Amino acid sequence: MGDDPVLYQIRVDGHLGPILMTAFPAFVSEQQGGETVLTGLLPDAAALFGVLFEIESLGLDLLEVRRVRPPLHQDLGPPRAGPAKCATEPSAIEGRCSVSTEQQETLDAILRQSAFPVDSGVEEQRRLLRELTSAQPLPAEVTVESAELGGVAVAGITVDGVEPRHVVLYFHGGVYVLGDAFSSAGLASQVGRRADAKVVSVDYRLAPEHPYPAAVDDALAVYEALLEDGVAPSDIVLAGDSAGGGLAVATLVNARDHGLPLPAAAYLMSPYADLTLAGASIDTKRKADPLLSRELLEPRVTDYTAGQDASLGLISPVFADLSGLPPLLIQVGSHEVLLDDAVRLAQQAAGADVEVILDVTPGVPHVFQAYGPLLDEATAALDRAGQFLAARLTGAERVTG
């Protein structure tokens, strides 16, 4: 991770008085029309995410984040004026608005600063991830409670004002060795909010301490427990990011093979679906991806597979028989080495007569949906996912009602 402080300019709607400014001690403020511009040095990406989530928790409308590139002695000029919201639909490569392009460049720079060193081990990567996620407080309206289902630890996530008529069974990312259900609650809650659902996020066991099939077993146990508790499969959707996306598909395949009724749909964000790392984009997108690389992924594959064949369908769902699965929405960015995992997974599903939508957003990184405060495309993609999930849940109600 980079050690040099970075100068940021952050625009928010409205005027911040002296009391609100106490929440941002690292910044100086300037009023420009009906907006406030905050300018300050931050030591790392974790600090920036902390500021952005503080802005969100205070109910302020974030308009723009700029990573100021010139040296401090140069005249930086005022922040670029104009509305920040422009990515309501997947952007075409040509005609993409300049605000969105600058957001993408800013996020890319931030992520490169916070990327794991290639030679880092599991414990160091876990520590660095904890530092990053600990700086991202949950919105005040999100509640997370520890629970257990099927003998597996889970996080129950609810959003004030959302009447949960359904359940999102969520699987966090982290290449099967990092993260937990609680640190991913922010993104999971965004999915639940849009699906009018309570989220049950599975705190599955991690490798290398618990290699395959521990995560797969835990995921199926929680799904079975939901069914045994009386939740109708038509009221359940699966969702996951990165490894969690791959695990969601593996859970569908596993549930089908165990003769269980399947949920209404699944939503996969940048699924890590081929642990053989055979997709062409693992190499062709190396320079474009600010986070992941073959060199970072290969040691973690060994941690998880522990001598098992990485091409097994429950490890790498791109090689699984996907017939009979419910509708899938697969979202991925064009600036990630796992692009081909998503593309090939969609092809595998389509070849098995599964209803599938492949939604590729250009110019954005791995699990870009997690960066809503920084990136318009993140909110737009989550909104599309919410529409997809709501339609499948409503459709399942009509069929079973």
Encode pLDDT of 255-308 as tens digits.
999 999 999 999 999 999 999 999 999 999 999 999 999 999 999 999 999 999
Cα–Cα distance for residue pair 170/218, rounded to 1 Å: 12
pLDDT value at residue 396: 60
Q: How does DSSP classify residue 384?
A: H
Average pLDDT over residues 179-204: 96
Average pLDDT over residues 363-382: 93
pLDDT value at residue 226: 98
CA-to-CA separations, 88 to 81, 200, 212, 294, in angstroms, rounded: 19, 28, 39, 33
pLDDT at 74 over 60: no
39-43, 361-365, 378-382: range with lowest mean pLDDT: 39-43
Cα–Cα distance for residue pair 375/67, rounded to 1 Å: 13
Structure tokens at 226: 């939901």
The class (CATH top level) of 124-400 is: alpha beta
Residue 32: which pLDDT band, with cuts at 50, 70 and 90? confident
In this structure, are residues 334 and 288 in contact, taking their beta carbons and an 8 Å threshold?
A: yes
Instruction: Provide the annotated active-site residues.
Output: 242, 336, 366
Q: Which helix (H) or strand (E) holds 268?
A: strand 265-269
The class (CATH top level) of 6-71+83-114 is: alpha beta
Domain ranges of the chain: 6-71+83-114, 124-400
